[in-house]
Amino acid sequence: MNDRSSAPAAISCKGVWQVFGHNPEQKLKAALERSGGDAGSAAANLRKDGLIPAVQDATFEVKEGELFVIMGLSGSGKSTLIRSISHLIQGTAGEIEIDGENILAASKKRLIELRRHKLGMVFQHFGLFPHMTVAENVAFPLKMQGKNKKQRRQRALEVIKLVGLDGREGAFPRELSGGQRQRVGIARSLAVNPDIWFLDEPFSALDPLIRRQLQDEFLNIQATLKKSIVFITHDITEALKLADRIAIMKDGEIVQIGTPAEIVLHPVNDYVAEFSKDVAKGKHARVSMVMDGENPVPGNMPDDPGLRTNMTIDTALAKCMELYEPVPVWDGEGKQAGFVHPSELAAALQVEAD
Amino acid sequence: MPQNSETKSLPWGLTPGAFAAWAAALLGLACILLTPVFPWLVKWPAALTLPMTDWIGSVVGWFLSVLKPAARLFSAGLGYPMLWANWLLTATPWPLVIGVVTAIGWYLGGLRMAALGLGGLSFVLASGYWIESMNTLALVAVSVPLALMAGLSIGILAYEFPRVKKPVQGLLDVMQTVPTFAYLTPLLFLFGFGPVVGLIASAIYAAPPMARNVLLGLERVEDDIKDAAVMSGGTRRQQLFLIEIPAAATQIMVGVNQCLMAALSMVIIAAVIGGFNDIGWEVLLTMRKAQFGQSFLAGLVIVVFAMVIDRMSGALAMERRRYDLRVIGLLMAVALLFTLLMGSSLPNPSDYAAFDPTAAVVDRALGDFTAEYGLALDQLKNTILFYVMLPLRIGLDNAVLPFTWGFMWTPAMSMIFLAVAATGGVALFLTGRRVAGAVLLLLAVTVETGVAELPWAFVIGGAGLVGWVSGGRKLALFAASMLALILVSGLWDRALLSLYLSGVSVLACTAVGGATGLLCAVSPAAWRVVRPICDMLQTIPLFVFLIPVLMFFQIGEFSAFLAICAYAVVPMIRYTRHGLINTPEEMLEAAVSSGATGWQIMREVRAPYAVPTILLGLNQTILYAFSMLVIAALIGTTGLGQSIYLALGKGDVGLGLGAGAAMAILALVADRLVQGFAEEKRRALGL
């Protein structure tokens, strides 16, 4: 995670607005002028005028190979945001760069080009073409690229195998279960081997068991493919399980961006804290978040339970059950990174935002 | 009724409904009382009538004469494919045609459809109407592709360009409410006599349902599917033709089915122009000669045709299984072998007349029947005519005569009658049933004067008030101004006559259809009987309805009334049953667990929930009644339908279009008013 902060940005959004209603560009400009650039009051003014500021002033970056999750309740604007980034809808204001190219300024032709080679997307309700077989569905983006039949077939079978659907390539979508359908959706979005992968609540329409299974497989796929991902969900557990970083949205506004541990341990406000309330914090927070790495290490620490920086707090606590003195913490290369008092480990789980 | 802001300003805390009902009733009463002083309240002064039909005639006539050369060229061009289709269908040996149709049936729906195709066409062959039927089929075969192309293009256009969607939808509405005959007059003028006119008329008539379904289908494609097509990098054209249209296929196939049925229906109606030896003409001819047996037989051939085309194209819209293609090869081989073996000894299809004896028997039996029971039939007819229809048409004051009712209606009686009704109305009002009181008074006013002689101020004011209750100020203005247009055009008297006949029919349909729908909702056994009848009635081309009514009741208003009812009752039955059946399960469980009996559930839960659906059924029934009204003009009705029919004979474009437009206005106003109520009820139920 940390090593990625220096990686170049795959997607970079600066001050992105998506306003619905009559004549949104003009009205947004006027509202921003009136509020002196303050996004919050500009949005409030737009609402008063009967417009809907679905996304307000969104600014963030997705690094290459990063799995970036946008989380929020329904109506928070997360689906709108991913649609602005993928340019399914035309953003009202701001800059969206994909690999350094401002796609808000891109021509129609260039956009088609980008979609044919660089972008892939998975949809909540799958969006499978009902009149095509699994193989034809998966091969459709390749057909748009202009690949011939044989190449299409070969690549389609490859991706179908990757998502574990081999043998069903001749089936029609209506003959598949929900989980299988989304596998087809995933396969189709990967067919052109895109660099950027958008997933819009891909698992929300599935049963809990199937959902977990697909999440695990998704993580496996990502471990080998290393795509730059924007992933939308309304489920905090899903977000914490999958994300490198999470952006939490509320009423069109991004309220916090951080790693799962940061979100759980240091929520910026009650709204974020409310989400992580029911989450077992010990499973997501790591020892590195609570250890003391700055102060000099105390001279004699009698016990060394072998804590490591990337251990979850739950695991670390289990090792310190009988200990009451500070213990050392080791990093991945075996060097001492700092120390922690077992009572602080326990206290970290009680954190509530004020 | 929801309390809206307008309620507060109404006197005595009346609801808008009660207020409008009382305003209308008092307006009617005032009109009646003032008529002796101001006769222009009933009869619009001729001096103020604008010669609109003449204007339409000259403007459209000029326009048409500009188009005429191009149109003649077009019709000459269309003549060729028609000739080819005709030649192909009549020159091909009949075993081959039957073989092909059976094979298509197999491909579309397996054994059942194949059997339908084989059986249907064999019947046609045996009836001796083979050549006539093939001529009709040729017309359909050329007009349907035209209609499909036009419909598809219009639908796609409206979908692609949101700005044209509204106007296109309005145009489609109008096209479907303007009566079929009204199209024919300008078309005759443009394209000259001959079968091509029927062909073009049917293409025009059949295109709107296709366009509607294409638009609906495209709009209903899931957003995720559309987005997936975009994200796959398709150009707009690729998205549309590779993804969205195929994904909308099911709905589009419904459009194809409706398009085929409309084309067939219109091709048969267009036979009134004559000049082509098709099956519609055969029906008309035999009907005019009062050969009811033959006419009935020809009508049956049309019905069989309609059934085959409807069921087979309906199968297109179903989820399809793949049937063994080898069977098709086999069928074709058998047909070919049969043709070759028979060779030149293959009998001429027109020589078959297997049912001629049957037709003769039917004729004779009919003759015997009418001889035997003619008196009873006449009595039935006269009773309804004299005691129900006539008073509604010309009012008690004119209909009550000594030789039917046994006494003479005097002005004094009118006064007493109205006074009693007014007292009753006021009594009801004071005891809290405010709307009921006004309705009683309204009924009394209508029955006393008769629909055809209602004061125009009352009709237009009343329609405006109903519009106000149903949809607010805008609808009120629309209804009143549209009707006022008819008033000043000089078609008012005829419009009232049409209003009367369709009104009586709709009333009868509502009563009979509602009761039947209720019965079918309660008893599945009844539905099993009624359903195939409904299916059948909806498949039969309008024209055919005239045959059985004529057989028993001869030409006249009563026969027209029966034909209209037979056709228009179906939606009432279907929607009533559907509405009553489809109550959400939880609501029923809640009612049962509250201890409600079956009838209590019906009255307290099912019926209120079904109201919006039933209103939609009423709406359909009204539109059906109007479209049949014009066809029924063939067997003797007065009013706009007759004018349209006369205009066709005289080639009077202005009158034809004007009367057609008046008819469309009546239908549109009725449609909007009922839709408004349905919409309000749905909102009130939170649907």
- Per domain, the residue ranges of chain B are 55-88+142-271, 490-687
Domains B55-88+142-271 and B490-687 share a fold: yes
Mean pLDDT score of chain B, rounded to an integer? Answer: 85
Residue among A126, A131, A141 minimizing CB distance to B233: A141
Distance, CA of B204 to CA of B128 (rounded, Å): 31
Considering the domain architecture, whether residues A113 and A200 belong to the same structural domain is answered as: yes
Query: B514 CB contacts (<8 Å, ≥6 apart)?
Result: B572, B576, B614
In a domain, A258, yes or no: yes
CA B349 to chain centre: 35
pLDDT greater at residue B157 or residue A311? B157
B139 φ, ψ (degrees, to nearest 5): -60, -45
Considering the domain architecture, whether residues A209 and A264 belong to the same structural domain is answered as: yes
Q: Assign A288 a pLDDT band (cuts: 50, 70, 90).
A: confident
Average pLDDT over residues B681-687: 80
Which range, A165-179, A283-297, B32-46, B186-200, is most confident?
Answer: A165-179
At residue B320, the pLDDT reads: 67
Give the pLDDT confidence of B270-283 residue by residue, as tens digits: 887 766 788 888 88
Residue among B228, B234, B242 minimizing CB distance to A127: B228
Q: Where do we find the tokens 């078609």?
A: B491
- Which residue in B543, B550, B551 sits closest to B364, CA to CA? B551
Nearest CA-CA distance, residue A25 and chain B, Å:
21
Provide the number of structural domains found in chain A.
2
Residue among A86, A127, A140 minimizing CB distance to B224: A127
**Minimum CA–CA partner of A83 in chain B:** B227
Considering the domain architecture, whether residues A114 and A213 belong to the same structural domain is answered as: yes
**Minimum CA–CA partner of A128 in chain B:** B225
Query: Which residues of A lie inside 8 Å of B (Cβ-Cβ)?
Result: 83, 86, 88, 112-117, 119-121, 123-131, 140-141, 144-145, 174, 185, 188-189, 192, 198
Considering the domain architecture, whether residues A198 and A72 belong to the same structural domain is answered as: yes
> What is the architecture, at CATH level 2, of domain B55-88+142-271?
Orthogonal Bundle (1.10)
Q: Where do we find the tokens 């541990």?
A: A261
**Mutation for testing the A interface, residue in B224, B226, B231 having most A CBs under 10 Å:** B231
At residue B9, the pLDDT reads: 63
Q: Where do we find the tokens 């700005």?
A: B163
Using an 8 Å CB-CB cutoff, list chain A residues near B319. 174
In terms of residue numbers, what domain contains A80? 62-89+107-118+194-279
Considering the domain architecture, whether residues A199 and A269 belong to the same structural domain is answered as: yes
Which range, A25-29, A271-275, B173-177, is most confident?
Answer: A25-29
For chain A, what is the radius of gyration of the CA atoms?
Answer: 23
Residue among B225, B242, B249 minimizing CB distance to A127: B225
Distance, CA of B452 to CA of B169 (rounded, Å): 33
Contact A347, A281 (CB under 8 A): no
Distance, CA of B124 to CA of B133 (rounded, Å): 8
User: What is the ipTM for the molecules in this complex?
Assistant: 0.81
**Minimum CA–CA partner of B223 in chain A:** A127
Q: Token digits for B587?
A: 């609501």
**Minimum CA–CA partner of B226 in chain A:** A127
Listed residues A255, A279, A303: the one ending a domain: A279
Q: Is B147 exposed, middle or buried (0-12, 13-18, 19+ CB in 10 A)?
A: buried
Q: B181-210 burial, b if ≥16 CB within 10 A, otherwise e?
A: bbbbbbbbbbbeebbbbbbbbbbbbbbbbb
Give the pLDDT confidence of A225-238 residue by residue, as tens digits: 999 999 999 998 89
> What is the architecture, at CATH level 2, of domain B490-687?
Orthogonal Bundle (1.10)
Contact B229 A129 (CB under 8 A): yes
Using an 8 Å CB-CB cutoff, list chain B residues near A131. 246-247, 249
Listed residues A251, A279, A307: the one ending a domain: A279
- Is it the case that residue B2 has pLDDT exceeding 70? no
Give the pLDDT confidence of B345-404 residue by residue, as tens digits: 667 776 777 677 777 777 788 778 877 887 888 888 888 888 888 888 888 887 777 777
Strands laid side by side in the A101-102 sheet: A52-63, A9-20, A93-98, A101-102
Distance, CA of B668 to CA of B662 (rounded, Å): 10
Q: Is B230 on the interface with A (CB under 8 A)?
A: yes
Distance, CA of B615 to CA of B635 (rounded, Å): 30
Listed residues A231, A253, A279: the one ending a domain: A279
Distance, CA of B328 to CA of B331 (rounded, Å): 5
In a domain, A18, yes or no: no
Average pLDDT over residues B140-161: 94
Using an 8 Å CB-CB cutoff, list chain A residues near B226. 127
Residue among B222, B233, B234 minimizing CB distance to A127: B222
Average pLDDT over residues A165-188: 92
